[in-house]
Amino acid sequence: MEANTVIWIFILPLGAFILNGLIGKHLPGRTPGWIAVTAMGAATVITWIEVYRFVRLDEPAFYQHHFFTWLNITARITIKAGVLTDPLSLMMMAVVTTVSLLVFLYSIDYMKGEQGYARFFAFLSLFSFSMLGLVAAPNLIQLYMCWELVGLSSYLLIGFYYQKPEAVAAAKKAFIVTRFADFGFLTGILLLSGITGTIQIEELNHFSGIPDFFSQQATFLGLSSITWAMALIFIGGAGKSAMFPLHIWLPDAMEGPTPVSALIHAATMVVAGVFLVARLFPLYQAFAPQALDFIALIGAFSLLFAAIIACAQTDIKRILAFSTMSQIGYMMLALGAGGYAASLFHLFTHAFFKALLFLGAGAIIHVVHTQHIEQMGGLRKVMPVTHVLFLIACLAIAGIPPFAGFFSKDEILIAVYAHSKVYFAVALTGAALTAFYMFRLYFKVFWHQSKEVHAHPAPVLMMVPMIVLAVASVITGFTGFNLFYPLAGHHDFTVPFTSVIVALTGITTAGVLYLKKREKPEQRPLLYRVVQNKFYIDEVYLFVTKNIIFRSIAFPIAWFDRHVVDGFMNALARVTQSFSQKIKFLQSGQVQQYAWVFMAGAAALIFMLMFIVR
């Protein structure tokens, strides 16, 4: 691994961002898109070469290189920008560059003719740069900085249609919610570096347990300080990964353009939380088992919660958003249950099939001009290729062999089974619900009666990435991931057998309910409405912020500021003003009067000097 080759992986997307951002507006036609694609393509090639060298040429499994010293804080704590490559970051870099490249390629035609075409590609390149910096970060500070940068690019891209009020609101919501979580992350970093005395990830993962600054035995509410630090870091990850109760931004983030949803809000950025926990996994395992239990709990709850909500949504992208949240719940649960490789395997496969689902949804929206699944139907005749690709992705996420999702979900189920039977039951229920809601979506969109849709074939540039992703969704189950981590073979087929049965049950139920007739009861049951409104979590947040925080805290404080603090200052000003109004007539404009005062003053001074001061 050569440092001066690796650095191009970061420079190229950054260069595309700068170029498109500065002069993209003046470039003709689709040139900005091709600039971004070229840069990303080169970065992808370099990444895969590095992966190949890592696999074939027996490069050391761990490699660290610092490009430059960024901040010198103390003699012991210096922050250096650089790369850390180990199987985890190589795997993430491969996923990020590959999915980015395919989504960029797709966007060239998808975004054609949009206002701000160059801006779009500039932001996408910025995102890829930040995400690569994040996954390759050798220390927590660089990781945190890139973490905020991906948050920023996510904000910019959700609000891409900035003339749409919903998009602006969604962008703000995403930024504020994740910012709120990042506060936990930052506190966690400070606490952790206070305990361990280092910010280097590899030193952290080999932490001896001897505290540096203050004792790790220091406890708060019965948990050790290091557990608190790790839990706080997880909260940052939970915000980015849309875990309950910080998930509210993800469905709204679908206001952004569909390729953005595919890249950022499905395949790469939202799994940053999983990556973060995986990055510090040795530390979690050795020092913070309670934090891991917490992660498992949140993951299990989120996966079931999101899966239930996804069953009652009618917006195609929102269904996919909740499904993303549910799948990340699986990854978190697997990490909490100790299934490190299983979790990353699912991250790897999920990136491909979820990106495919979103790109497929984008192709559908491109043709039917609506996101409402009740207004679609019979599309299998209109767009046969997309239909097949979408079906592959649905089967992959539902966990049907031989598609990728089956293998990775299977690994997770085995890991969870060994950990806890309750979580296993939750994960199985989630698997059934996943199959159900995905095929509800599939049947509603592609079957039913045909509609009058002006079918124009999707451009080749949109089809190619989808085909590549579909191939990846099939083969990554067999190969690909074991480049990075060897997976243990299993010979017990109870768990996989159960999971397939469960998934098939879900698909069959969806088929029975949605394949033929379209039920339209006048009065939906109460439970359905509760689920459709996402358990009213948004309303709870609104209630808490509006009624509790604004009414009882913010308004009184604002009143105090306006009337007491400002009032005091205003009173001071008013007294000064009226006093000066009274004495201003001393300024008569008569020079001789002034001279009298002056002389009297001089005389008084002389008198004092002569007789009083001495």
Partner 1 sequence: MTGIPVEHLLIFSALMFFIGMYGFLTRKNLVTMLIGIELMLNAVNINLVVIDRFVYPKQTDGLFFAMFVIAVAAAEAAVAIAIFINLYRNIRSVDVEKVNEMKY
Residues at the interface with partner 1 (CB under 8 A): 584-585, 587-592, 595-596, 599
Listed in sequence order, the residues at least 6 apart from 143 whose beta carbon sits closer than 8 Å to its beta carbon are 134, 137, 201, 276, 279
Contact 531, 308 (CB under 8 A): yes
Nearer to partner 1, 478 or 596 (CB): 596
Going from the C-alpha of 427 to that of each of 37, 338, 339, 564, the distances in angstroms are 38, 15, 14, 56
Kindly report whether the peptide bond that precedes residue 402 is cis, defined as omega within 30 degrees of 0: yes
CB of 607 to partner 1, least distance (A): 16
Beta strand 219-220 with 223-224: parallel, antiparallel or unpaired?
antiparallel
Listed in sequence order, the residues at least 6 apart from 312 whose beta carbon sits closer than 8 Å to its beta carbon are 528, 531, 532
Contact 366, 455 (CB under 8 A): no
Nearer to partner 1, 163 or 592 (CB): 592
Nearer to partner 1, 57 or 610 (CB): 610
Nearer to partner 1, 218 or 609 (CB): 609
Angle at 133 (CA atoms; ends 129, 138), nearest 5 degrees? 170
Query: Measuring CA to CA, which residue among 173, 271, 284 is closest to residue 232?
Result: 284
Strand partners, 79: 71
User: How far is residue 560's CA from residue 547's CA, in Å, rounded to a whole number?
Assistant: 18
CB of 572 to partner 1, least distance (A): 23
CB of 179 to partner 1, least distance (A): 55
Query: Sign of the C-alpha dihedral, residues 311, 395, 335, 101?
Result: negative
Nearer to partner 1, 4 or 578 (CB): 578
Nearer to partner 1, 559 or 594 (CB): 594
CB of 583 to partner 1, least distance (A): 10
Nearer to partner 1, 62 or 594 (CB): 594
CB of 165 to partner 1, least distance (A): 55
Nearer to partner 1, 491 or 584 (CB): 584
CB of 604 to partner 1, least distance (A): 15
Instruction: List, in sequence order, the alpha helices (H) in 57-116.
Output: 87-110
Nearer to partner 1, 163 or 577 (CB): 577
Contact 510, 439 (CB under 8 A): yes
Nearer to partner 1, 217 or 592 (CB): 592
Query: Measuring CA to CA, which residue among 270, 261, 269, 461 is closest to residue 361?
Result: 261
User: How far is residue 399's CA from residue 376's CA, in Å, rounded to a whole number?
Assistant: 25
CB of 605 to partner 1, least distance (A): 16
SS3 content of the chain, % helix, strand, coil (to 5): 75, 5, 20
Nearer to partner 1, 497 or 594 (CB): 594
CB of 580 to partner 1, least distance (A): 10
The b/e string for 516-534 (b: 16+ C-beta within 10 A; e otherwise) is eeeeeeeeeeeeeeebeeb
Q: How far is CA 557 from the centre of its chain?
A: 34
Nearer to partner 1, 585 or 611 (CB): 585
Nearer to partner 1, 578 or 587 (CB): 587
* Three-class SS state of 493: coil
Nearer to partner 1, 208 or 590 (CB): 590
CB of 581 to partner 1, least distance (A): 10
Nearer to partner 1, 75 or 586 (CB): 586
The b/e string for 430-439 (b: 16+ C-beta within 10 A; e otherwise) is bbbbbbbbbb
Other Cβ atoms within 10 Å of 148 Cβ, number? 17
Structure tokens at 156: 């910019």
CB of 579 to partner 1, least distance (A): 14
CB of 596 to partner 1, least distance (A): 6
CB of 582 to partner 1, least distance (A): 11
Structure tokens at 541: 């947040």
Contact 210, 240 (CB under 8 A): no
User: How far is residue 358's CA from residue 356's CA, in Å, rounded to a whole number?
Assistant: 5
CB of 585 to partner 1, least distance (A): 6
User: How far is residue 284's CA from residue 237's CA, in Å, rounded to a whole number?
Assistant: 14
* Three-class SS state of 64: strand
Phi, psi at 242, each rounded to 5°:
55, 45
CB of 584 to partner 1, least distance (A): 4
CB of 556 to partner 1, least distance (A): 44
Helix (H) or strand (E) holding 65: strand 63-72
Query: Measuring CA to CA, which residue among 578, 256, 307, 608 is closest to residue 428?
Result: 307
Q: Locate tokens 């696999």: which residue?
A: 55
Enter the DSSP assignment of 200.
B
